[in-house]
Amino acid sequence: MPRSDTTHSRPAWYFREYAPVGIDLGSTAAVAAYDRNQGTDFDADDALLDRLGVTERSCLIDLACGTGSLTVQAARRGAVAHGVDVSEEMLTFAQARAEQFGVSPHWHRAGFLDYAHCGPLADVVTTKSALHQLPDFWKQQALCKAAGMLRPGGTFYLWDVIFSFEPTSAEERLQQWIETAGRPEGEGFTKSDFEVHVRDEFSTYAWIIEGMLQRAGFDIITSAFPRPTHAEFYCRRR
Ligand SMILES: C[S@@+](CC[C@H](N)C(=O)[O-])C[C@H]1O[C@@H](n2cnc3c(N)ncnc32)[C@H](O)[C@@H]1O
């Protein structure tokens, strides 16, 4: 399946979503390492697709799809699946993964902010571990765009590094997270990766995300905070 490329000019004040943010994912080796560290798990992808009600009659868009496992699994169950990412390297990896399984999702080199969805509105839009790449103002714009890709009643799923601790305990909680989550080099994301995440990327508080989701036109059906540093939101488009 050929890839669409929607990169086009924007006003000078527009967020540069193709400029790298945070940890380096800009080479084939970095992408392969990311996929290993992230621990791609097709069973977990399938469990999520089941929860989201994705069937062969569904249209799913995964925004910032990375190495593409969720998009590929959606395509393997017969859904019309779209994987969207700004990174050429990520899309190359994702496309090879799809070929390995004999499926042809639609791949789009595009961002949260400039992906222009063509065709029928989607039943499900997902984004995992990626919205934090945008500062808060742009997160709101991205969520409005995601709502615009979904049919009314459609499902929006967000998983990310999102903070639910009290701001007064932020320094202690973040230090704790970095110390416990960091793995030795070559065995997973390192302490330095988490330091870069907190310092250079744009994770924010859960109550800010909640307000943004509501503003974008979503009802939050369920939310979960399995760790004080991570959250998921399962939403319905009004
Ligand atoms: C940490 S990875 C997550 C990938 C995948 N969703 C996952 O769960 O493994 C972040 C992804 O966001 C992509 N990305 C960064 N900024 C983006 C933007 N503005 N729009 C779309 N994708 C973006 C990166 O290229 C990368 O593939």
Question: What's the CA-to-centroid distance between 40 and ligand 1, angstroms?
Answer: 14
Q: Are 236 and 219 in contact (CB under 8 A)?
A: yes
**Euclidean distance between CA atoms 215 and 225, whole angstroms:** 21
d(CA 167, ligand 1 centre) in Å:
26
Test site for ligand 1: of 3, 38, 87, 88, most ligand atoms within 8 A of the Cβ: 87
Strand pairing report for 106-109 and 150-161: unpaired
Q: Give the C-alpha separation, 233 to 88, whole Å.
A: 28
Helices (H), 101-166: 136-149
Report the alpha-carbon distance of residue 126 to residue 65 in Å, rounded: 9
Q: What is the pLDDT of residues 132-152, one digit of tens each?
A: 999 999 999 999 999 999 999
Say how many Å lie between the CA of residue 90 and the centre of ligand 1. 8
Q: Relative to the CA of 127, which ligand 1 atom is closest?
A: 6
- Taking the mean position of all CA atoms in its chain, how far away is CA 191? 22
The tens digit of pLDDT for each residue in 51-91 reads 999 999 999 999 999 999 999 999 999 999 999 999 999 99
The type of residue at 190 is: T
CA of 154 to the centre of ligand 1 (A): 22
35 within ligand 1 shell (Cβ under 6 A) = no
Average pLDDT, the chain: 95
Tokens of 14: 């527009």
Task: Reply yes or no on whether the pLDDT at 2 is more than 70.
Answer: no
Looking at residues 116-145, what average pLDDT do you find?
97
- What is the DSSP secondary-structure string of 69-117? HHHHHHHHTT-EEEEEES-HHHHHHHHHHHHHTT---EEEE--TTT---
Domains of the chain, each with CATH number or no CATH: 23-162+204-237 (3.40.50.150)
Residue 138: how many other CB atoms lie within 10 Å: 18
